[in-house]
Amino acid sequence: MFKYSITKKQVYALVLESKKITYKPRQKNYSVKKIISKKELLYTYDSSLEKIIRTNFHLNSDLKILMESYLQIIFNKSKYPYIFGHLAQTLDGYIATESGESRYISSIDNLEHLHMLRAISDVVLVGSNTVKFDNPKLTTRLVKGPNPMRVVIDKNDTVKNSCNLLKNKDRKGFKIVSDKLKPNDENIFLLPLKKDEFRITDIISLLKSLGNKIIFIEGGGNIISHFYRKKFLHRLHLCISPILIGRGINSFIIDKDVKINEAKIKKISYIKMGKDILCNIKLPS
């Protein structure tokens, strides 16, 4: 039987429709339909296999892996907030030059993917250095999805209110600062410090109490390493770009002695994005 072939933009539309469905950790299969270009497109996703098992359209293998990479996040089986990260790194493992320049390591295809990840997330979290160096907007302007809440971890309240993340008209930008400070700003959450850091569990509890079920950590390496080390990172999208810079800011640091065999990642898929390769890594949690 002839099947209608769909494009990347149509995949995005179906994925964004999927985000509107209430997902339940115990539900196995999800069927989603949407009329796009006057055609009713329908697919079924198996959340145990983490795969699309049925479609009434033709999906080439690259688009299928891409679409599954979003559905694995939307229809995750976690009872707690689902937490994932994305980093774009050079071939030699850096996310920025020594002076903090990172725009743009990855291709436009990967940037578009990044905006899709924002659109399917409830909140995007970044470390203070990322805001100081990049001044990102963290919006979804390259795709059609909604802007998520945006939060920067900034214990000493050093990030300026004039930065892009905080000044956006949608008022969805916030910072988390130490409860020892008593700032009056509206866009601030306070948390206690333990050994001069916020506990990861306190950050997660705060974001959960605000109704966030999908937490996207967009960098940098420091904050992603914190979540990874404490085993709170469910998934990492690591984009590897054909660039060599010799020195720079590390992608992420794992402080442990391991044997090569024990360190091998078991669940991984690869997606070509322009000249880059995205590694979609499911982490043991």
- The least distance separating ligand NAP from the CB of residue 169, rounded to whole angstroms, comes to 24
- 3-state class of 213 per DSSP? coil
* 280 lies in the binding site for ligand NAP (CB under 6 A): no
Site for ligand NAP in 88-127 (CB under 6 A): 88, 95-96, 100, 102, 105, 126-127
Among residues 180, 131, 121, the alpha carbon closest in space to that of 153 is found at 131
In the complex, the smallest distance separating the C-beta of residue 15 from ligand NAP, rounded to whole angstroms, is: 21
Contact between 249 and 95 under an 8 Å Cβ cutoff? The reply is yes
Site string for ligand NAP, 217-236 (x = CB under 6 A): -xxxxxx--x----------
Give the whole-angstrom CA distance, residue 162 versus residue 62: 40
134 binds ligand NAP (CB under 6 A): yes
The neighbouring-strand residues paired with 216 are 84, 124
Q: Could you tell me where the beta strands, DSSP code E, fall in the chain?
A: 4-5, 29-36, 39-46, 51-55, 57-58, 82-90, 94-96, 123-127, 149-153, 173-178, 188-191, 214-217, 235-241, 249-250, 267-273, 276-282
Q: Which of 4, 57, 133, 189 binds ligand NAP (CB under 6 A)?
A: 133
By CB under 6 A, residue 128 contacts ligand NAP: yes
Q: How far is the CB of 277 from ligand NAP (least distance, A)?
A: 14
- Does 238 participate in binding ligand NAP (rule CB under 6 A)? no
Between 60 and 158, CB nearer to ligand NAP: 158
Cβ(73)–Cβ(23) below 8 Å: no
Kindly state whether residue 170 participates in binding ligand NAP, applying the rule CB under 6 A: no
User: Smaller CB distance to ligand NAP: residue 76 or 102?
Assistant: 102
* Closest among 249, 276, 254 to 132, alpha carbons compared: 249
Residue 124 region by backbone torsions, left for phi larger than 0, else alpha for psi between -120 and 50, else beta: beta
- Looking at the Cβ atoms of 100 and 146, the one nearer to ligand NAP is 100
Distances (CA, A) of 57 to 34, 62, 213, 234: 12, 15, 30, 30
Binding mask 145-164 for ligand NAP (x = CB under 6 A): --------xxxx--------
Contact residues: ligand NAP, CB under 6 A: 87-88, 95-96, 100, 102, 105, 126-130, 133-134, 153-156, 197-198, 218-223, 226, 249
